[in-house]
Amino acid sequence: MSDETAFSQPQTALSAQILEMSYTALIVYRAVYVATKLGIPDLFEDEPLDSETIARATNTHPRALYRLLRTLSSAGIVSESRDHRFMLTPLGRMLRNDVPGSMRAWIIFSGEAFYLQAWQELLHSIQTGKPAWDKVHGMAFFEYLRQHPEAALNFDEAMTGFSHGEAQAVVSAFDFSCFRTVVDVGGGHGALLATILKSHPQLHGVLFDQPQVVEGARSHLANNGLMHRCEIIEGDFLQSIPRGNDAYILKYILHDWDDDRCLTILNNCRRAMTFDARLLVVEAVVPAPGEPHYAKYQDLEMLLLFGSQERTVEEYTALFERTGFRLVRVVPTPGQPLSIVEAVPV
């Protein structure tokens, strides 16, 4: 084998890998978005469907739709038979509206133009350290959601979808039986709190979030038969947090904010907590250099959207020390990229 041949083989493999990252991944991402936006996954029941039937149901061009479905078949979202009929795969089922932990809302939210426009300005964030979202939209992320109710609804539903599997993992990893009351700070629609309460019948819960969010929490907790064990309190964790409870959970809260705002949130938690209470920060913790991890991808999104970051254990330790806490341990969750960072008042 010549030196040129030996060199070309790994080069070819590396080129294919770059092509997969830049070309194939983009096509699959957009194809999944279009299929989800059209509601195609929700059309499937127990029988296979041909593209003409799906085209009639979605008011689309039959041949063009077939080509979309064939692409989705290559990606594992649907399967295609020899007679060109399609069935939804287990992976594709996660795009339906009626499955626990559905990814439908996230795919639609992240596929819309307003979200993609921010990613087109990633260079701005890298050059300045500031959120591209603000540059594109002229306002902060959560202010944009306040002004665009449909986007806010998809975002809230997406977070609830994420929470289904994550909540089960948190409950599996951490023993809540020593507590009497648990406060979910910025708890959204209550998916995590509901899972904790159902797993621990002795617990009382407090869901704390902004007024425009908690209506969704009321219906979710009521549907789970938990309202008699749960109090819903409206408020802003940048101002104050309900006092005197046993455990305070911050799930996907601190990564939305810069260090100064995180210090405000943690100081508010510390003022609300008794000496024997516990703080549970649920986040994707950045691991050691050179170790691939979901947190390192999500960290770039935090920069883009908020100018914030994911953090290492050392960075959490430093935040805690400045706000009257001591980091006790970091508990990984099974099957999820999240960890539970436990801290105590000092």
From the candidates 124, 189, 200, 255, give the one annotated as an active-site residue.
255
Q: What is the pLDDT of residue 219?
A: 85
Q: What is the pLDDT of residue 8?
A: 63
Q: What residues does CATH 3.40.50.150 cover in the chain?
A: 162-345
Q: Which fold has domain 162-345?
A: Rossmann fold (3.40.50)
Catalytic status, residue 189: no
> What is the rounded distance in angstroms from the CA atom of residue 264 to the CA atom of residue 104?
34
Torsion of CA 122, 128, 133, 135, to 10 degrees: -110
Q: What residues does CATH 1.10.10.10 cover in the chain?
A: 3-98
Q: Which fold has domain 3-98?
A: Arc Repressor Mutant, subunit A (1.10.10)
Q: Report the predicted TM-score, pTM, of the whole model to 2 decimal places.
A: 0.89
> What is the rounded distance in angstroms from the CA atom of residue 344 to the CA atom of residue 346?
6
3-class DSSP assignment, residue 22:
helix
Average pLDDT, 10 consecutive residues per value, the chain (346 residues) = 59 91 95 98 96 98 98 98 97 95 96 98 98 98 95 90 91 96 94 94 95 84 91 96 96 96 98 97 97 96 98 98 98 96 98
